[in-house]
Chains A and B, each alone.
Chain A
């Protein structure tokens, strides 16, 4: 805990923390470039794993900034909880809105597909033997 650290120790802690954040950032950029590299295009799992790793590293960076640089780790627990717990609401917002975005894409694709369907002409209209199959 910061209170128990000597001045020299806490100064060293800052530079160590800075080095850690810089190293994590470099790792993220390398993963991001790897993910976009040409050879990666054929390997889907690599893209997913790299993306998840990048997200995990960013969350770690956020944790480190809040707990060390902003000293949240050394505040009273109640203070930390009143600030951190409300952000949990965002988890549902993430799930709901990303799902919603995906639904927008699907319904737009459906509209585009329907737009390009050709209307049967008058002789074919009504009950006919021609079956119009709609792919799901």
Chain B
């Protein structure tokens, strides 16, 4: 009984008649459901429109780009160097699949919490909600790692997208001598531009070669136009963009089909919108997960301290936060679809 005494005030509030039934003015509940649940559904409907707006603008911008980064290439890293265990040091979509599982499983544990609530089983509600919170927090942790890796290691920002995609077939120039090599440039393949002087960049660039010329070659860190590549930034002769990060762009040649001329090309940045859309949309979803975790925690603490025992309505509050939590999972289905699968 001491447990209930702590929440006497809230229990007293709950016994006010006007709070016991939020639908006033009639003896039948519209749609045979409670006010709170119905309004949660309508909030989720409006939120669905917000997300749909973002995702449709993603689609429109993707359709408007001549090329788009291939997700298997962009999302091919995993923490603890797990991606080194895979061929080519790439673990395509493995980490993000794990993230999806975390969210799906936390959705399942949420259903369990609602079921236990319907049976007025306080211990069950608390246990399953705790697992749900852990799943949500785990997802957020994974997303934090993913963002950190993209920003600090791969230099992707809202305005810079180093993931470019070739739009024609051709051959690379040797970075050192500028001669045409037999190393192929394949249309539709996504590449990552590295920043000169970053160890990560050198490793990966050397890894692209099959033990040929580039093996012991080191890219210059001084901005300039070199025989086989270009480094961004302020050049010693005063030209170049002083605000630019020293990205390395390799040169390659493409043979014009009509004239048979060799056209020299330089690796370009990918579509600018990619970074803004990725950070904007996954960030907005992550924000929903974060608020969901906070509300889950509040309701978890309330449930544990017996607030909903007194209400005798089958832990309806748990049902409402459950609706929200499933919605967050539902949105992830579509974010996962457009950013990672297609």
Contact = CB atoms under 8 A, between A and B. Distances in A.
Contacts of B33: 75-76, 79
B45 interface: yes
A105 interface: yes
A31 B72 CA distance: 12
Q: Could you say which interface size class chain A belongs to? A: 35 or more
Contact of B42 (A10, A83, A90): A83
Given A15-B108, A32-B340, A65 B326 contact: yes
A70 B333 CA distance: 15
A83 to B, nearest CB: 5
Given A65-B326, A79-B38, A109 B66 contact: yes
Contact of A7 (B63, B115, B341): B115
Contacts of A10: 115
A10 B117 CA distance: 13
Contact of B60 (A54, A55, A76, A101): A101
A74 to B, nearest CB: 10
A112 to B, nearest CB: 9
Interface string A24-37: 01101101110010
A36 B52 contact: no
B327 A58 contact: no
A11 interface: yes
Nearest to A104: B64
A15 B104 CA distance: 11
Given A32-B72, A66-B330, A101-B64, A93 B108 contact: no
A100 B62 CA distance: 11
A92 to B, nearest CB: 11
The dominant DSSP class at the A interface is: helix
A87 B45 contact: yes
A108 B64 contact: yes
B50 to A, nearest CB: 12
Contacts of B97: 25-26, 29
Contacts of B57: 97
Given A14-B108, A18-B105, A94 B92 contact: no
B155 interface: no
Contact of B334 (A11, A62, A97, A104): A62
A29 B333 contact: no
Given A29-B97, A36-B70, A54 B342 contact: yes
A29 B100 CA distance: 11
A124 B31 CA distance: 78
Contacts of A105: 63-66
Contact of A11 (B32, B72, B115, B327): B115
Which of B49, B56, B62, B66 has the largest count of A CB atoms less than 10 A from its CB?
A: B56
B337 interface: yes
Given A22-B104, A104-B64, A51 B342 contact: yes
A130 interface: no
A65 B322 CA distance: 12
Interface string B171-198: 0000000000000000010000000000
Contacts of A55: 337, 342
Contacts of A93: 52, 56
A10 B49 CA distance: 31
B110 to A, nearest CB: 8
Contact of B112 (A11, A26, A83): A11
Interface in A58-95: 58, 61-62, 65-66, 69-70, 75-76, 78-79, 82-83, 86-87, 90, 93-94
**Lowest 3 CB-CB distances: which A-B pairs, in order?**
A101-B63, A101-B60, A104-B64
Given A87-B48, A87-B49, A90-B52, 10 more contacts: A32-B72, A33-B93, A36-B70, A55-B337, A75-B31, A75-B33, A78-B31, A82-B42, A98-B60, A105-B66
28 contacts: A7-B115, A10-B115, A18-B107, A22-B101, A25-B104, A29-B341, A31-B341, A32-B341, A36-B92, A51-B342, A62-B330, A62-B333, A65-B329, A65-B333, A69-B108, A69-B329, A70-B326, A75-B31, A79-B33, A83-B42, A87-B49, A90-B52, A93-B52, A93-B56, A98-B63, A101-B62, A105-B63, A105-B64
